[in-house]
Amino acid sequence: MKAYLILEDGSVYEGNSVGAEKSVVSEIVFNTSMTGYLEVMTDPSYAGQAVVMTYPLIGNYGICYEDIESNKAWVDAFIVRELSEVASNFRNEDSIQNFLKVNNIPCITGIDTRDLTKRLREYGTMNGMIITTGSYDISEVSQKIKEYSVKGVVKKTSTDKSYTLDGKGKRVVLMDFGAKRNIAKQLQKRGCEVIVVPCDTTADDIIKLNPDGIMLSNGPGDPKENVDIIKEIKKLYDSDIPIFAICLGHQLMALATGADTYKLKYGHRGGNHPVKDLENGKTYISSQNHGYAVDESTLNKSICIPAFVNVNDNTNEGLRYINKNIFTVQYHPEACPGPRDNSYLFDKFIKMMED
């Protein structure tokens, strides 16, 4: 069946429909990872977005459910050049085609993803509509695309109730803003007891749990939308409990301490982004998935200073807080997908709690 992707600038891409037969309006973003498509589809940070994979062949190693990052797929739609008809992998449990159908994700294949990506790079991230149900009325579609915005996705992706992952080491409270599973796994791997709490948990309730440390997770959407959460994070900042924050958590901590954030032209999404540690001068390859960044010009240098910088575009990739046991990074040290160069940051967090 024919499928169409219509962008807000009027561009139309025609391809074929795979997966769920439905039409969706979404924010169209691209990811440059060569592998890890299952982790991408199940990463809550993609809630409200349709993902273009720049690598031309997707699905060739099938689906391994051990690798999922949450209990469901969160992407609105999937856009690829070609889906492999054959999965060759000893860990394979399912085809990507069946995974898309079971998770109700429309997918459009056979389009020129190189041209689409170049358009998004040149003009910036756009809204678009994926139509897999036949013909369409361009005036009606244009209105829907124009009206769309990513809203309320942190609450949507967060856990509904607290739960505990056993461990005999340090107690860490993980605030779930749309957390990837591998964040908790990295902490458990280091012996931590991890208490995962909903995004709207108050600072007082977190402090009552008597944690050795607090983890602020990744998540989707515009950080400035989370006004109440930012107020609670400011209280956690004042508590002197060690804090490690990733991605959205990094942005929320910056907002809580008076800095500002802004939307990037087309964001950073992929497994090959170089970041430089400003303390030791080393450059690491990182996994990234974000559309917003902290504005370094708004930092109060008596509160925090830049700790990492993106080598490609010089955007902020992390902060070190002055006279506080707090550090934050914009990228994903838990990787999955992506390189594991930065897993040492979890060891740094453990040492911070021990000291």
| Contact between residue 74 and residue 42 where contact means Cβ atoms under 8 Å apart | yes
Q: Is the pLDDT of residue 254 over 80?
A: yes
* Whether residue 21 is found in the same domain as residue 118: yes
**Kind and range of the H or E run holding 79:** strand 77-79
Q: What is the mean pLDDT of the chain?
A: 97
User: What residue numbers bound the domain in which 289 lies?
Assistant: 154-354
Active-site residue, selected from the candidate residues 192, 247, 304, 336: 247
- Kindly report the backbone phi and psi dihedral angles of residue 17, in degrees, each rounded to the nearest multiple of 5, phi listed first: -90, 130
What pLDDT sits at residue 306?
98
* Whether residue 198 is found in the same domain as residue 140: no
* Whether residue 71 is found in the same domain as residue 209: no
Q: Is 332 a catalytic residue?
A: yes
Q: Is the pLDDT of residue 183 over 80?
A: yes
* Whether residue 116 is found in the same domain as residue 204: no
- In this prediction, residue 237 has a pLDDT band, given cuts at 50, 70 and 90, of very high
What pLDDT sits at residue 116?
98
Q: Is the pLDDT of residue 179 over 80?
A: yes
Q: Which residue has the higher pLDDT, 329 or 340?
A: 329
Can you give the CATH number for the domain in which 109 is found?
Answer: 3.50.30.20
62 is in an annotated binding site: no
Q: Is the pLDDT of residue 60 over 90?
A: yes
Mean pLDDT on 185-189:
97
* Whether residue 181 is found in the same domain as residue 325: yes
Q: How far apart are CA 179 and CA 196, in angstroms?
A: 9
Q: Is 334 a catalytic residue?
A: yes
Q: How far apart are CA 311 and CA 314, in angstroms?
A: 6
* Whether residue 166 is found in the same domain as residue 279: yes
Token pair 């002197």 is found at: 240
Q: pTM of the entire structure?
A: 0.97
13 is in an annotated binding site: no
The secondary structure of 281-296 as a DSSP string is --EEEEEEEEEEEEEG
* Whether residue 41 is found in the same domain as residue 172: no
In total, how many domains does the chain have? Answer: 2
* Whether residue 19 is found in the same domain as residue 42: yes
Q: How far apart are CA 46 and CA 39, in angstroms?
A: 11
pLDDT digits (tens, 9 = 90+) for 100-135: 999 999 999 999 999 999 999 999 999 999 999 877
* Whether residue 95 is found in the same domain as residue 222: no
Residue where a domain terminates, one of 122, 150, 178: 150
* Whether residue 111 is found in the same domain as residue 170: no
For residue 332, give every residue at least 6 positions away whose Cβ sits within 8 Å of its Cβ, in sequence order, or none. 180, 218, 246, 247, 286, 287, 288, 289, 338, 342
Can you give the CATH number for the domain in which 304 is found?
Answer: 3.40.50.880
Mean pLDDT on 262-291:
96
Cβ neighbours, 10 Å, residue 109: 20
Residue where a domain terminates, one of 90, 124, 150: 150
What pLDDT sits at residue 139?
87
What pLDDT sits at residue 97?
97
pLDDT digits (tens, 9 = 90+) for 81-107: 999 999 999 999 999 999 999 999 999
What pLDDT sits at residue 51?
98
248 is in an annotated binding site: yes
| Contact between residue 287 and residue 50 where contact means Cβ atoms under 8 Å apart | no
45 is in an annotated binding site: yes
For residue 19, give every residue at least 6 positions away whose Cβ sits within 8 Å of its Cβ, in sequence order, or none. 78, 97, 100, 101, 105, 106, 107, 132
* Whether residue 73 is found in the same domain as residue 118: yes
Q: Is 247 a catalytic residue?
A: yes
- Kindly report the backbone phi and psi dihedral angles of residue 172, in degrees, each rounded to the nearest multiple of 5, phi listed first: -120, 130
Q: How far apart are CA 245 and CA 328, in angstroms?
A: 5
Residue where a domain terminates, one of 102, 128, 150: 150
* Whether residue 187 is found in the same domain as residue 248: yes
